[in-house]
Structure 1
Amino acid sequence: MLFQNDSTPLYSVELFPPKTAEGMDKLKLEIAKLNALGPAYFSVTYGAGGSTREGTLETVSWLRGLGIETAPHLACIGSTREQVRELLNHYRQQGIRRLVALRGDMPSGMGAGNQGDFRYANELVTFVRAEFGDAFHIEVAAYPEYHPQSGSPARDLENFKRKVEAGADGAITQYFYSADAYFAFVASCRKAGVEIPIIPGIMPITNYTQLARFSDTCGAEIPRWVRRRLEGYGDDVESIRAFGHEVVLTLCRHLIEGGAPGLHFYTMNQSGPTTRLWNDLELAIVH
């Protein structure tokens, strides 16, 4: 079986910590709108090498102060065991029960000698389990179109399986626009004995130039027909957003109908595109 039939689908949203007080004020307004949808939890990203550490802590603390279920990202590259232990103790005191454990990226200018005590996410997962047992539900990253640094899908699957064997409870994928890629990846995981829920990551399409640049960097494929249509709209923002919404809405429907265990929306701190998808999919009713 590709999916477990006894699990309630989880629909969640992701934020990134703003860099300014003004940005935080704006984010709080967006959070209020997103929270009204009833997501299972909010995840909060963590910059390369801990570059947004304070912003992440502030955002997580604010969410927890409202009683909102929160899943901080924890990127281990550049961190020591003691730093990670201190951060996890802080989160546990706040009542955090869910983490997104990642390797993370090296910030520009950081040399190889400053990589810290962890090289890969599976080492982080192992550490969390050894230090905190089952205190946290741990999500890890998955790549349906495989990680650009892995070299091959087979090697990427091996790396993913190591994270699962280390103690991951579930996974959230990199965004994608091909449902077939997701279902093929899940099938490969099941064949390899990986049984944890693998939740699709969903990126709304609102800005083609930004999306194309980001996708080229992270290895996410934009289907050629979608690229051509988006390119054809030029600077027509309204048409880009309307077409993008239909593409992502159709993708989400295929995923849900195919048995995906939930959806995780990369909101980019904008409530509008995710809210429209959520309402058109009637996720509030499902969740």
Structure 2
Amino acid sequence: MTRIVDLLGNPEPTFSFEFFPPKTPEGEANFEKALQELAPLDPSFVSVTYGAGGTTREKTVETVRHIKHELGLEAMAHFTCVGATTEELRVTLEEIREAGIENVLALRGDPPRGQNEWVASDGGLEYSHQLVALLREDYDFSISAACFPETHIHATSPEDDLKYLKEKVDAGVDYLITQLFFDNELYFDFVARARAIGIDIPIIPGIMPITGYGQISKITSMCGATMPEHVLSELDARQDDPQAVADFGVSYATMQCADLLAKGAPGIHFCTLNRSPATRSILSTLRLWRPWDAQQTGLGAPRKPPVVA
């Protein structure tokens, strides 16, 4: 068994993959293909998301169990408090524990489909820090949580967003994984602001390689992530050539990850969208390149590595 927090802080960065539970036979085939192709890369861990409103709760636990016990990869279950009472949350947590799963990503979660505002369930929890406190007090999980370099879309201000993040961390979070971003300065600025208010746990950048022109536009509009103007210009120039878009996306994400690792990021968490080619290409290149060695050799102008470790 492996607690993910114990993997962080080593000289070698962690590399991890995010999947979502498939809902159709075609999706199941894509998912299994991606798993089979990415497993040989020996990721530090993989994570499995919940659907909106907690709609894939049972499927998430089943998928994490499959990855951990049948494929032999360390797996983390995303876990939200949407649409469930505290007792129902405990039932699922017992299932997770009995499955031998030691790692959980605690999230408040998004509103159920068709509901614009988040409302706590009767007898349930209202805030993610309450979920973290429940996990820390009653379960021996390694706990992760999400953070947002560009501020959560429902936050009233960047300052309030950080204040609520500090509440989660103080409740017992071991490490953080960021929302996707496409400008590394957003990550470095966010880490500096987090450190300034006393958040001193590892912050792993979340990276989504651009694989499709329309797809990335939809995803960024949903989560509030922005795209640098020069990247948008390059994508616009290639929008009629899907392969050119995918090739550019791999190149850009590889450079982005190399810069993050050279400047002290503790790892990379890839959002795979249940596909393998882009992530496989990027990670293979990074392992040959080893940009994190720049911290030891003085190459790559490292940006105060202890700040983001």
TM-score where L is the length of structure 1? 0.92
Q: Please say if 1:125 is aligned against 2:129.
A: no
Tell me which of 250, 253, 260 is aligned to 2:258: 253
Mean Cα deviation higher: 120-129 or 103-112: 103-112
Q: Please say if 1:282 is aligned against 2:287.
A: yes
Q: Please say if 1:193 is aligned against 2:205.
A: no
**C-alpha distance in 1 between matches for 2:53 and 2:238:** 37
**Deviation at residue 160 of structure 1 after TM alignment:** 0.8
Larger relative CO (CA 8 A, sep 6+): 1 or 2? Answer: 1
Tell me which of 155, 159, 165 is aligned to 2:170: 165
**Deviation at residue 5 of structure 1 after TM alignment:** 6.0
Change (3 A) 1:85 1:191: same
**Deviation at residue 251 of structure 1 after TM alignment:** 0.7
Change (3 A) 1:115 1:157: farther
**C-alpha distance in 1 between matches for 2:53 and 2:84:** 7
Q: How does 1:135-174 map to 2 (within 5 A)?
A: 135-174=140-179
What one-letter code is carried by the residue in structure 2 that aligns with 1:262? G
**C-alpha distance in 1 between matches for 2:108 and 2:123:** 11
Q: Please say if 1:32 is aligned against 2:39.
A: no
Tell me which of 51, 54, 57 is aligned to 1:50: 54
Change (3 A) 1:5 1:79: closer
Q: Please say if 1:263 is aligned against 2:288.
A: no
Q: Please say if 1:41 is aligned against 2:45.
A: yes
Query: Match of 2:136, SS?
Result: helix
Query: Match of 2:104, SS?
Result: strand
**Deviation at residue 112 of structure 1 after TM alignment:** 4.0
What one-letter code is carried by the residue in structure 2 that aligns with 1:220? A
Mean Cα deviation higher: 234-243 or 49-58: 49-58
Mean Cα deviation higher: 74-83 or 111-120: 111-120
**C-alpha distance in 2 between matches for 1:190 and 1:126:** 21
Mean Cα deviation higher: 196-205 or 213-222: 213-222
**C-alpha distance in 1 between matches for 2:252 and 2:264:** 19
Tell me which of 61, 65, 69 is aligned to 1:65: 69
For the 8 Å contact 1:43–1:73, the answer to whether it is kept is: yes
What one-letter code is carried by the residue in structure 2 that aligns with 1:54? E
Query: Match of 1:225, SS?
Result: helix
Query: Match of 2:274, SS?
Result: coil
**Deviation at residue 22 of structure 1 after TM alignment:** 4.0
1:102-160 CA distance string (max 9 Å, x none): 0111112458474651112111001111221xx11101001011111112111111111
Runs of 4+ in 1 over 6 A off after TM superposition: 283-286
1:226-258 CA distance string (max 9 Å, x none): 112211212201111111112111110110000
TM-score where L is the length of structure 2? 0.86
Unpaired segments of 5 or more residues in structure 1?
Answer: none
Find the counterpart in structure 2 of residue 12 from structure 1.
Answer: 16
**C-alpha distance in 1 between matches for 2:240 and 2:216:** 14
1:194-239 CA distance string (max 9 Å, x none): 1000000010101121111110121111111111221121220111
**C-alpha distance in 2 between matches for 1:276 and 1:130:** 41
What one-letter code is carried by the residue in structure 1 that aligns with 2:109? G
Find the counterpart in structure 1 of residue 235 from structure 2.
Answer: 230
For the 8 Å contact 1:77–1:120, the answer to whether it is kept is: no
**Deviation at residue 26 of structure 1 after TM alignment:** 3.0
**C-alpha distance in 2 between matches for 1:46 and 1:276:** 26
For the 8 Å contact 1:38–1:284, the answer to whether it is kept is: no
**Deviation at residue 16 of structure 1 after TM alignment:** 0.3
**C-alpha distance in 2 between matches for 1:106 and 1:234:** 32
Tell me which of 81, 88, 106 is aligned to 1:83: 88
**C-alpha distance in 1 between matches for 2:87 and 2:12:** 36
Find the counterpart in structure 2 of residue 100 from structure 1.
Answer: 105
Unpaired segments of 5 or more residues in structure 2?
Answer: 1-7, 293-309
For the 8 Å contact 1:106–1:115, the answer to whether it is kept is: no
Aligned length: 281
**Deviation at residue 7 of structure 1 after TM alignment:** 5.8
For the 8 Å contact 1:37–1:284, the answer to whether it is kept is: no
